[in-house]
Chain A
């Protein structure tokens, strides 16, 4: 079965600091995707990225970057120069046959 572990329950950083959110996954699939979602205080779930296991190149989108390492079964998310608007709960997710399996989330608080 699919499993996602986000060991960091809560992280606090001061604005402009870089922060990395960890995601470790377990799957027996040979090819798979991984997702990150953001849940701001308003409650909605915002899609951030979907990554294919074939592609281990780092993905960068503005201040966001993702590091995918199959050797350690990790798909970590880094926010550079964090801002207060980055305060949210971030979820990593792994698709099963029919649905996404979510980690327990990491609550990020960016202090001004």
Chain B
């Protein structure tokens, strides 16, 4: 158990809908990363938050957004969902702001868009 929690574990929804994925980092960790894992793209970085502020953006679509709350949990919002958004979404946390710190991953949320 990494200490990072993600809910829900599975999500099935229809095209055009909006969903929210939630992540709680390990105790003491200030950084939260979101990654998407799909069969064709592999593991792709989406966005990073550190202590409540957005620090870096990767291949995140405009239809996607995220935030980190004062209690350090984070939410990833996916809207106007398309079939291609079906993937495993991971949250990772680390103690520092740099990517070179150890990143611990949650169990992931498997999103299926039908």
Contact = CB atoms under 8 A, between A and B. Distances in A.
User: Most chain-B Cβ atoms within 10 A of its Cβ — which of A35, A46, A99, A102?
Assistant: A99
Nearest to A96: B99
A96 B98 CA distance: 9
A98 B100 contact: no
B42 A100 contact: no
Main secondary structure of the interface of B (DSSP, over half): strand
Interface in A22-44: 32-33, 35, 37, 42-44
Contacts of B2: 44, 46-47
A3 interface: no
Contacts of A33: 100
A43 B108 contact: yes
A50 interface: yes
Interface string B1-24: 010000000000000000000000
User: Most chain-A Cβ atoms within 10 A of its Cβ — which of B48, B92, B98, B103?
Assistant: B103
Interface in A75-112: 91, 95-102, 104-105
Given A43-B88, A44-B107, A99 B56 contact: yes
B108 A44 contact: yes
Interface of A: 32-33, 35, 37, 42-47, 50, 91, 95-102, 104-105
Given A98-B56, A99-B99, 19 more contacts: A33-B100, A35-B103, A37-B105, A43-B88, A45-B105, A50-B102, A95-B98, A95-B100, A96-B99, A97-B56, A98-B55, A98-B99, A99-B48, A99-B56, A99-B58, A100-B33, A100-B103, A101-B45, A105-B42
CB-based closest 3 A-B pairs: A98-B56, A99-B45, A95-B99
